[in-house]
Structure 1
Amino acid sequence: MKTSLVNTVWFSEKRKNLLLLLSEGTRDIEQIKKSLNVTTRAIMPQIKILKQQHLIGQKGENFSLTVAGEIIVKNMLPLLEMSRVIEENKDFWTSRNYEAIPPHLFNRLMELGHYFLIEPDINHLFELPREFTDNIPRSKSIMTFASYLHPTFPALYSEASGSVNDISLFLTVQAFEKLKNEYSSEFDRIMRSGNARIYLLNQNPKLPMITVTDWFGYICLFNEEGRYDHRDIISFDDSALKWCRELFESYRKDSEEVLR
């Protein structure tokens, strides 16, 4: 009975790992055995199957991907990366509200890379995490969207406005009015800094807060019930920073700058 490519690739970890290994370049059998920690007896049947499906080829002692194999692996990688991102914290990802994320970015969640899930203990539940407050001063460029104003927020950003190269704050009308009226000294310092811009969003994305700097990306999402449970994502990967910046560009199109 003919075996489908789906079964060939996904129903065997050895075959899948071999394809991924060969995507990095040609390997001989000894290199394959060492890299995959397998014996000749274990891997040769898998090599035979992949050769029969024309996914790998052999020239002398060396094995490499065929053109078909390269196409398969190229399309495998995004799914594998997406699976890794979700499986690392499945309970978190399967309980989030994603309405604030445009479809083209939702389909690229794997670009968050090697992220960390921050889950504060009950004694610090309503504090901004140290992973956030410690990394803001290290940053030279900051973009933040906030739908609510955390009490630590005004002082943190007014202080940062004196040392960073540029700050862009995207606020809901409610958050802006609270900053302007209840934290007037911090608001004035931010506006006078000369390197800060504040934008008002015409609509409120269903998102508590998101920040991206030249150093890290920080993402807060509501859960499925529309509540913020203080479980956040932070990533230092370049791909995550690019992903977050693209999200901000989508917000910028629906915002108006507050003039000094």
Structure 2
Amino acid sequence: MKTSLVNTVWHSEKRKNLLLLLSEGERDLEQIKKSLNVTTRSIMPQIKTLKNQNLIAQEHENFSLTSIGNIIAKNMLPFLETSRIVEENKDFWASRNFDAIPQHLFSRIKDLGHYFLIEPDINHMFELPREFVDNIPKSESIITFISYLHPMFLSLYLKAAESGSDISLFVSEAVLKKMKKEYFEQFSDLTKMKNATIFLCKENPKIPMITMTNWFCYICLFNEEERYDHRDVISFDDSSLKWCDELFDYYRTNSEELCQITDFE
């Protein structure tokens, strides 16, 4: 009985890795052995299997993907990257609420790349995370959406604006009211800064905060109970910045820029 392509590809780590390697370009046997850290004896049966399934071809000493092999390898990569994202912190991702992420971006969660999960020490649970506080002042541009206002948030962003950072701040209606009521002086100072723009989201996405700067993104998600448990994700990969930029484009279509001081009253 002929082995299925699914079994051929996924039931062997060596075959899977060989397909991914050849998706980068043709290789000879010595290059394959060195890249995959395998022996001739262990890899040749896998090469034979992939050749029999018409997934790789051989010309003289070089091996390359066939058209079918190329299609399969390219479609393997998104699945493997998504699996890696989830597998690294399975409990975290399984307990998140993703209602604020549009489907076309949720399906590309792999674009977060090599991220770090920030889990606060119990003694610092209600402080702004050090990873966030340390990196904001280093940023030339900052785009943030918040529906959860930390007491230190405005002072941090006001300081960044005074240092020359370009700031776009998207806020929920509840946060806007809280800023005006409890932090009016800092809020008023921020609105007067020429390099700071504030947007009001007409509908409140179910997300505590998401921030994108010119060099990192910081994502806070509610858990399944729609509570913020202070477990956050930070990524410095270019793909994560592009992902966040598209997310803010999505939010921007449902937001209104508050241009004048009267808009805030």
Aligned length: 260
Pairing 1:256–2:238 present: no
Match of 2:219 in 1: 219
Match of 1:39 in 2: 39
Match of 2:137 in 1: 137
- Mapped to 2, the partners of 1:56 and 1:168 lie a distance apart of 50
Query: Segments of 4+ in structure 1 off by > 6 A?
Result: none
Match of 2:126 in 1: 126
Match of 1:107 in 2: 107
**Deviation string for 1:146-201 (max 9, x for gaps)?**
00210010100111111234211111111111112221221122111111111111
Letter in 1 for 2:105: L
**1:120 touches 1:129 (CA, 8 Å); kept in 2?**
yes
Match of 1:191 in 2: 191
**Deviation string for 1:6-64 (max 9, x for gaps)?**
11111110000000111111111111111111111111110001001111000111111
**1:138 touches 1:215 (CA, 8 Å); kept in 2?**
no
Letter in 2 for 1:124: H
- Mapped to 1, the partners of 2:27 and 2:214 lie a distance apart of 38
Unmatched segments (≥5 aa) in structure 1: none
Deviates more, 1:181-190 or 1:40-49: 181-190
Give me the identity figure in percent.
69
**Deviation string for 1:49-104 (max 9, x for gaps)?**
10011110001111111111111111111001000111111111111000000000
**Deviation string for 1:89-147 (max 9, x for gaps)?**
11111110000000000000000000000001100000111100111011111110000
Pairing 1:245–2:245 present: yes
**1:55 touches 1:66 (CA, 8 Å); kept in 2?**
yes
What's the RMSD between the two structures over aligned residues? 0.9
Secondary structure of 1:134's counterpart equals helix
- Mapped to 2, the partners of 1:31 and 1:259 lie a distance apart of 60
TM-score, length of structure 2 as denominator length: 0.96
Match of 1:202 in 2: 202
Secondary structure of 2:256's counterpart equals strand
- Mapped to 2, the partners of 1:93 and 1:233 lie a distance apart of 11
- Mapped to 2, the partners of 1:207 and 1:4 lie a distance apart of 43
TM-score, length of structure 1 as denominator length: 0.98
Match of 2:14 in 1: 14
Match of 2:150 in 1: 150
Unmatched segments (≥5 aa) in structure 2: 261-265
Secondary structure of 1:136's counterpart equals helix
- Mapped to 1, the partners of 2:149 and 2:226 lie a distance apart of 17
Equivalent positions of 1:57-72 (< 5 A) are 57-72=57-72
Letter in 1 for 2:113: G
Letter in 2 for 1:97: N
